[in-house]
A = this chain, B = another copy of it.
């Protein structure tokens, strides 16, 4: 099994999620609010006359653990729906998962997804 971890724009989450939900290999998702920095520039703010730059930009990190054979479909769906073509669209990382357990039942492996 693989964990697909994608850093995307918050505005795109809805589009990505509804596209994912239409895939039959979609089982679940876990999401975290993160801050990211890459090629995208930050925004300058000010307070009492002094400017400051927040170069960490709010992003959403979504994680899905899926069967090896589903990685590509999930990946493609994310890319298609999260892409705007502007700098800052984010990244997808794929990581190997050794084990999965469903806490409710104690099931392990693929059936726990």
Which A residues form the contact surface with B (CB < 8 A)? 2-3, 6-8, 17, 27-39, 56, 59, 61, 65, 71, 75, 78-79, 82-104, 106, 112
Contact = CB atoms under 8 A, between A and B. Distances in A.
A30 B35 contact: yes
A62 B113 CA distance: 18
Contacts of A36: 28-31
B101 A79 contact: yes
Contacts of A34: 30-32
Given A32-B32, A34-B30, A97-B95, A103 B87 contact: no
A53 to B, nearest CB: 12
Nearest to A30: B36
